[in-house]
Structure 1
Amino acid sequence: MTEEAVRAEYDKLVADFQPSPEIRASHILVPTEEEAQAVKAELDGGADFATLAKEKSIDPGAANGGDLGFFGKGMMVAPFETAAYGLTEIGQVSEPVQSQFGWHVIRLEEKRDSAPPAFEQVAPQLQQQLLMTTFDDTVAKLMEGVAIDIPDAELSAAVDAQTETEAPAQ
């Protein structure tokens, strides 16, 4: 596989890429609704979100101020995602929302459209795909016109049955 072939596949991937909305949010996760309401009240009173996240959140990511980074739809649990995507203004803080992990208070940090992955990030997978496609095409060409005779009737029937289940639907 040449780098040119891999880059050509990457160019096709980028040409077909459809950006989708992503958001970056931070959250403070606490075990109870009462604690979440208290956190929301502190934030409404002017408390620093990142500081409160470090002090009060039970989430392992609390050390970085509760920042979850960018995520798209379908990447978070439903109640959290609905609340996070319901925020419209940068810096806006949600009402407490419950998920199976506890109670979240969420702040919207940024909005953007997703970008295609960098070439370096996907090159190994593209190279593997090209290798498999080339292998399959080469084997198919070599098999053209080849007749396989299996004299054992039982083995022949088993091969036929296997071939039928592997054949692509037309």
Structure 2
Amino acid sequence: MNSALFPDLIVNGETVPHTLVASETQNHDAPAGKPGIAWRKAANAVAIRTLLLQEARARALVAERQEVAPGKFETDEEAQIRGLLESVVDPDVPDDDAIYAEWKKDPSRFHAPPLWEVSHILCACDPRDEEAKRDAMHRAESLIAVASKDAKAFSAVAMRESDCGSKSSGGALGQLGPGDTVPEFEAVLRSLDEGEITPEPILTRHGWHIVRMDAVALGGVLPFDAVKPKIADAMEKASWARQAQKFVQKLVASAEISGADLEAK
């Protein structure tokens, strides 16, 4: 291995196995043909993690592993780092005046979510099957011209041709909001005006869709009292992040590290 591109990472005299840095590289982007950049990013991340673990052990911290998702628990190291940060970070809790001042900067940032009333025609396929995907696309393309004639035509085509259970209601999906459908479908909804039909089929994990926007209700600006808890939570999280960053910077400043460039950051 090229020691110039992939130097040993040593943190306070502890040599970090190359395998840990190599594994971390998958989480970092780099231009094609420049693996050294991904390695340096990974080395920085692993160096910080190593510093935090060293500090947790120096303080003899014990932290129970917590469930982070159904049936999924932290690793011992993740629990130690969380326990350390919980012990040293005390985020500021914003008062009512600070929360109101943050809202007053630009109340238009806080909208109720939009509602979309949508109909669609699905030509189902497995997108991983290239032949099936191509056949379903051609089928969907042939249906668009007919379905675009008028509202009755769209419903009739949906009832006759759609592979979705909504065919019984002429393709109507009812009202949808953010998060109610797959991201690719939602992206289309955000781009359509009322009464508009997608000019070409849209691919999702379910197949090809012809989508019609039946009605749009854009969310209005929310009053302060409705968004106050959300703003307070965001401000407290931002305070936590700032204090955690300062704590890490203090560890870096007092550490001896080679194979990473944390001081430059």
Give the TM bin, normalised by the shorter chain. Answer: 0.5 to 0.7
Whole-Å separation in 2 of the counterparts to 1:68 and 1:38: 22
Q: Could you say what the CA RMSD is over the residues aligned between the two structures, in angstroms?
A: 2.1
The letter for the 1-side match of 2:167 is A
Shift in Å, 1:77: 0.5
The match for 2:183 is: 78
Displacement after TM superposition at 1:111 (Å): 1.0
Q: Which residue identity does 1:83 align to in structure 2?
A: V
Which AA in structure 2 matches 1:27?
H
> What is aligned with 2:168?
63
- Classify 1:114/1:68 alpha carbon distance in 2 versus 1 (closer, same or farther; 3 Å): farther
Kindly state the Cα deviation for residue 45 of structure 1 after the two structures are TM-superposed.
Answer: 4.7
1:54 equivalenced with 2:151 (yes/no): no
Gaps of 5+ in 2: 1-110, 125-135, 221-265
Which runs of structure 2 are paired with 1:1-170 in the superposition (5 Å)? 19-31=112-124, 32-45=136-149, 48-88=153-193, 90-94=194-198, 95-113=200-218
* Count, aligned residues: 98
Give me the whole-angstrom Cα distance separating, in 2, the residues matched to 1:83 and 1:74: 13
Give the secondary structure class of the aligned counterpart of 1:48: helix
C-alpha displacement at 1:43, in angstroms?
2.4
Q: 2 CA distance for matches of 1:56 and 1:75?
A: 24
Q: Distance in 2 between matches of 1:54 and 1:44?
A: 14
Indicate the percent of aligned positions where both proteins have the same amino acid: 28
Q: State TM-score, norm by structure 2.
A: 0.34
What are the Cα deviations for residues 58-113 of structure 1, in whole angstroms up to 9, with x where unaligned? 1011100111111111211111111122102x221012001111110000001114
Output the CA distance in 1 between the equivalents of 2:114 and 2:146.
30
5+ residue gaps, structure 1: 1-17, 116-170
SS in 2 for 1:91: coil
* Aligned residue identity for 1:58: D
Q: Distance in 2 between matches of 1:63 and 1:36?
A: 18
Please give the TM-score of this superposition, normalised by the length of structure 1.
Answer: 0.53
- Distance in 1 separating the partners of 2:219 and 2:170: 23
Q: Distance in 1 between matches of 2:217 and 2:149?
A: 29
User: Hey, what's the Cα distance between the residues in 2 that align with 1:44 and 1:91?
Assistant: 10
